[in-house]
Amino acid sequence: MAAAQGRLSDGAGGMDDAKEGERNAGDDAPPAFRAAVDALRAARLRPQIEMETTRAPQRLAPFAYALEATVVDGDQDLADGRLVLLHDPDGHDAWRGTFRLVTLVRAELEAEMAADPLLPDVCWSWLTGALQARGLACGEPSGTVTRAGSHYFGGLSERPSTSQIEIRASWTPREGLGGVPDTAGHLASWCDLLAQVAGLPPAGPGDASVVTLPQRRGPQSR
């Protein structure tokens, strides 16, 4: 099993980005936020999901912490996403709470699957269903499901056409003891969503009812 804390970014500035995330969760952060971040760091994930800290947005809330994940099968990337934890100790009218989770999930699809008119509704139900399956209450959910197709021309004409699904969403997690939400549970639900979009088989007997997308055509080599 892989720890949610993960490895540092391999890209330029990755170390600085990670340090920025550490500052957001430092000693000057509210105890509730530090506890929520600690739970994210301690979470255990499916071995196919690789997680790392990344630079968190600085203008959405006084405190923020961000993770990026990739669903990996051998040397192929099947899906990727980002999960951001926001915290405003004074509360936020639009959130109706002091915490907010924001996510982006995306994967490439077979063209036939991308053409299904019910696909956006199914993908949104995967998000809400993943939360419900773990008994997690949330408020003020909102988001979009976007399908996009790419066709290549000229010097790129040999590449096959591709279709992609993208889920952008945010929700307010219910706060528990000490005003701390169950961020580890929400992270696990988010990873369930990633796995479904990537087309991974169910993680265990209890997940046998999960319907996943077929693996995308020609997963990107790492």
**DSSP tag of 155:** G
- Looking at residue 203, its pLDDT comes to 64
Pull the structure tokens for residue 220. 């990107």
Q: Is residue 77 over pLDDT 70? A: yes
User: What are the pLDDT digits (tens) for 2-58?
Assistant: 444 433 232 323 333 444 444 465 668 889 999 999 999 988 888 889 999 999 988
Q: Is residue 216 over pLDDT 50? A: no
Cα–Cα distance, 30 to 216 (Å, whole number): 42
- Looking at residue 169, its pLDDT comes to 95
- Looking at residue 33, its pLDDT comes to 95
pLDDT higher for 15 or 79? Answer: 79
Q: Is the dihedral of CA 16, 20, 25, 26 positive or negative?
A: positive
- Looking at residue 61, its pLDDT comes to 92
Lowest-confidence pick of 32-36, 53-57, 100-104, 113-117? 113-117
Strands 138-150 vs 97-109: parallel, antiparallel or unpaired: unpaired
- Looking at residue 6, its pLDDT comes to 36
Cα–Cα distance, 146 to 144 (Å, whole number): 6
pTM above 0.75, yes or no: yes
Mapped onto helix, strand or coil, the DSSP state of residue 145 is strand
Cα–Cα distance, 28 to 215 (Å, whole number): 44
From residue 51, alpha-carbon distances to 4, 11, 30, 108, 172 in Å are 5, 14, 24, 19, 22
Q: Can you tell me the mean pLDDT for 152-159?
A: 81
Calculate the average pLDDT of the chain: 78
- Looking at residue 23, its pLDDT comes to 47
Can you spell out the DSSP letters for 156-212?
GTTSPPEEEEEEEEEEEEPB-GGG-B-HHHHHHHHHHHHHHHHTPPPSSGGGTT---
